[in-house]
């Protein structure tokens, strides 16, 4: 059977990518990581990729701070198309992807966000949750659309906010939940169990 190929994009330490890669290597996730791309030359995600013998590549993002410039975006698209990926997994990719990227891969780009969306979109969502004073937060896996953290929700996991939490302890517990949720959602998509009807997404049992 043709392998279900993932392209993973990240800018940071790569703990989600490592969890997904390890699930693929152990056979728990029926997927193959075809490419790991980063906009940060020394990102941990590229080190995690090379440690596992995966193809990792830095693509210079261009002149903007929060998005890719046109040339860089075209190179990301080309690289993923050449690798023939079935699903693009954003794992801590900190530049906004809109227009041409989303158009090039319709319904094929997913993201993980460290809050229970639609609460706390944007940066440092765990800090936003602490400042607001919520008692429960978590993480969300969603399809990427033209907005910011606004696409249809595939899966969520809750994480309690403890009285003694700091930004670091809360983010660490959210990331622990992410490492379970993301492979679970990818498995559901790769095995054809996810059905999208507008904003409503249902997942058939395995
Ligand atoms: C994750 O916590 C992810 O939810 C967050 O970046 C972290 C990346 O960690 N993403 C966002 O905030 C996107 N808005 P990792 O590099 O260890 O996977």
Residue 113 annotated as catalytic: yes
Query: Is 138's C-beta closer than 6 angstroms to any atom of ligand 1?
Result: no
Query: Which pLDDT value is given to residue 116?
Result: 98
Query: Is 38's C-beta closer than 6 angstroms to any atom of ligand 1?
Result: no
pLDDT at 80 over 90: yes
Pairing of strands 200-203, 153-160: unpaired
Query: Which pLDDT value is given to residue 81?
Result: 98
| Structural contact between residues 57 and 80, judged by C-beta atoms closer than 8 angstroms | no
> pLDDT exceeding 70 applies to what percent of the chain?
100
19-33: per-residue pLDDT in tens? 999 999 999 999 999
Query: Is 151's C-beta closer than 6 angstroms to any atom of ligand 1?
Result: no
The closest residue, in CA terms, to atom 9 on ligand 1 is 92
Identify the band that residue 18 occupies on the pLDDT scale cut at 50, 70 and 90.
very high
The closest residue, in CA terms, to atom 14 on ligand 1 is 113
26-68: per-residue pLDDT in tens? 999 999 999 999 999 999 999 999 999 998 999 999 999 999 9
Query: Is 92's C-beta closer than 6 angstroms to any atom of ligand 1?
Result: yes
**Predicted structure pTM score:** 0.97
Query: Which pLDDT value is given to residue 1?
Result: 76
Active-site annotation holder among 48, 113, 142, 171:
113
| Cα distance between residue 149 and residue 122, in whole Å | 7
> How many C-beta atoms surround the C-beta of residue 50 within 10 A?
11
Tell me the pLDDT of the chain averaged across its residues: 97
Query: Is 112's C-beta closer than 6 angstroms to any atom of ligand 1?
Result: yes
Query: Is 179's C-beta closer than 6 angstroms to any atom of ligand 1?
Result: no
Identify the band that residue 99 occupies on the pLDDT scale cut at 50, 70 and 90.
confident
The CA 3 to ligand 1 mean position distance, Å, reads 26
The mean pLDDT of 83-100, rounded to a whole number, is 95
The mean pLDDT of 123-129, rounded to a whole number, is 98
pLDDT at 126 over 90: yes
- Give the domains, in start order, of the chain with CATH numbers: 1-106 (3.40.50.170), 112-206 (3.40.50.170)
Query: Which pLDDT value is given to residue 98?
Result: 81
180 CB-side CA count, 13 A: 10
Identify the band that residue 196 occupies on the pLDDT scale cut at 50, 70 and 90.
very high
Q: Own/partner pairs for 192-199, CB < 8 Å, 24+ apart?
A: 194/154, 196/107, 196/143, 196/152, 198/152, 199/152, 199/153
* Ligand 1 pocket mutation pick from 44, 89, 91 by most atoms within 8 angstroms of CB: 91
């Amino acid at each position: 059977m043709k392998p279900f190929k993932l392209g993973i994009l990240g800018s940071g330490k790569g703990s989600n990518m490592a969890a997904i890669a390890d699930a693929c290597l152990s056979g728990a996730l029926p997927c193959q990581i075809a490419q790991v791309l980063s906009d940060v030359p020394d990102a941990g995600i590229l080190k995690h990729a090379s440690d596992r013998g995966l193809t990792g590549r830095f693509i210079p993002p261009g002149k903007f701070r929060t998005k890719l410039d046109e040339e860089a975006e075209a190179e990301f698209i080309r690289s993923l198309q050449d690798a023939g990926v079935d699903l693009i997994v954003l794992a801590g990719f900190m530049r906004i992807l809109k227009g041409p990227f989303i158009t090039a891969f319709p319904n094929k780009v997913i993201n993980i966000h460290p809050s229970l969306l639609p609460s706390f979109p944007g940066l440092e969502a765990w800090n936003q949750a602490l400042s607001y004073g919520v008692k429960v937060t978590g993480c969300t896996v969603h399809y990427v659309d033209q907005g910011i953290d606004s696409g249809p929700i595939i899966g969520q996991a809750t994480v309690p906010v403890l009285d003694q939490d700091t930004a670091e302890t809360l983010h660490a517990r959210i990331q622990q939940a992410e490492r379970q949720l993301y492979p679970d959602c990818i498995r559901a998509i790769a095995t054809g169990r996810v059905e999208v009807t507008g904003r409503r997404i249902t997942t058939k049992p395995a």
